[in-house]
Amino acid sequence: VNQILLLLLVLTVCAILYSKVHQVPLALRNETVDLENPEEMEEEIPVVICAAAGRMGAAVAAISSIYSNTEANVLFYIIGLKTTIPHIRKWIENSKLKEIKFKVVEFNPMVLKGKIRQDASRPELLQPLNFVRFYLPLLIQKHEKVIYLDDDVIVQGDIQELYDTKLAPGHAAAFSDDCDLPSTHEIVRSVGMQNTYMGFLDYRKQAIRDLGISPSTCSFNPGVIVGNMTEWKHQRITQQLEKWMQRNVEENIYSSTLGGGVATSPMLIVFHGKYSSINPMWHIRHLGWSPDARYSEQFLQEAKLLHWNGRYKPWDYPSVHTDLWENWFIPDPSGKFKLTRPDS
């Protein structure tokens, strides 16, 4: 019995010594895991795009262009209304976009009750999803830095470059100035596009004059936003925007008949003098302002992002530079969304 106990003791000691000699340190094991799974260390880039009824093909083309032109770890937040969410989810899951990382988020239009003044001249601009950009921190809660894109864009560059846009301390967002790119000025003049505050705010109203903002101040376009959600919440940007929306309901201080966008005007007020700049090649605009005015092909090839803001959308007819947009369009598997073309 004593010999058996001695043998067991020797074996136990040997087993302990072997374990200590061959044990992989915890830190080294963790490092090995990280090296084998680099995506776990890669920063996630949240991109917010709306999927509105009647124009879901726009969101799909935008997502397709972003996904195809980057190796970055992009997480798409697709914002929709309750009635549209099943359609966009099915479209993505039954197309080549099924590999993307995405979350579908429902937007409750009741948050806008009493905050939008009805305007018959451009009713499409009053759609609830047009105001999603006002509520980014409420919809996207776990990210500090967020990219918001209008649905009528395509991205030709690497979205990582846009995400790396530097925001100055104290700035909650970065935009592109409407006066920032000389090569676009001819287009702006030819289509009558407004690019100053005078084109968006009614300077006949005392509330606007009291702001002390010169009417010749260059405007910016909020169709592409790089936002700092920490600053956004700290400065109560959403509440400030809602205040000016309510003020407009009561006093009609801006109008869609002016600059062509009821979502732009309150942002011009709230962010005046308090925003950083996006590289102008990351927001080439006005492609939807005329069915005739065209940029040069060389200029468009160099552009990182194209935006068909205006009435003439690339999925409708007439419109310009539709071939660039259609490169990224993915047909609707359900057949509900169809392109409008001269021969259709």
117: tokens are 């003044």
Nearest to 127 by CA among 93, 105, 150: 150
Tokens 């990382």 sit at which residue? 101
Overall average pLDDT of the 207-231 stretch: 95
pLDDT of residue 74: 98
CATH number at residue 104: 3.90.550.10
pLDDT of residue 30: 32
Report the domain count for the chain.
1
pLDDT of residue 138: 95
Residue 248 lies in a domain: no
pLDDT of residue 189: 58
Residue 302 lies in a domain: yes
- Amino acid letter, 330: I
Is 153 in contact with 306 (CB distance < 8 Å)?
Answer: yes
pLDDT tens-digit series, residues 6-23: 666 666 656 655 554 444
Domain with 166 in it: 45-183+220-234+274-327
Mean pLDDT of the chain: 86
Residue 337 lies in a domain: no
**Band of the pLDDT at 1, cuts 50, 70, 90?**
low
Assign 135 to helix, strand or coil: helix
pLDDT tens-digit series, residues 181-206: 655 656 655 555 678 898 889 999 99
pLDDT tens-digit series, residues 122-172: 666 678 999 999 999 999 989 999 999 999 999 999 999 999 999 999 999
Measured distance CA(95)–CA(206) in Å, rounded? 53
pLDDT of residue 25: 36
Residue 169 lies in a domain: yes
Tokens 């929709």 sit at which residue? 80
pLDDT of residue 9: 62
pLDDT of residue 183: 57
**Band of the pLDDT at 69, cuts 50, 70, 90?**
very high
- Residue scoring higher pLDDT (134 or 33): 134
pLDDT of residue 22: 43
**Band of the pLDDT at 40, cuts 50, 70, 90?**
very low
**Band of the pLDDT at 294, cuts 50, 70, 90?**
confident
Residue 27 lies in a domain: no
- Amino acid letter, 131: F
pLDDT of residue 254: 85
Assign 47 to helix, strand or coil: strand
Residue 26 lies in a domain: no
Residue 278 lies in a domain: yes
pLDDT of residue 257: 53
Phi-psi region of 252 (alpha: psi -120 to 50; beta: other; left: phi over 0): left
| pLDDT at 260 > cutoff 70 | no
The burial class, CB within 10 Å (0-12 / 13-18 / 19+), for 114 is exposed
Residue 292 lies in a domain: yes
Measured distance CA(147)–CA(43) in Å, rounded? 14
21: enclosing H helix or E strand:
helix 2-22
pLDDT tens-digit series, residues 303-318: 999 999 888 999 999 9
pLDDT tens-digit series, residues 74-119: 999 999 999 999 999 999 999 999 999 999 999 999 999 999 887 6
| pTM for the whole structure | 0.85
Measured on CA atoms in the order 63, 315, 54, 335, is the torsion positive or negative?
Answer: negative
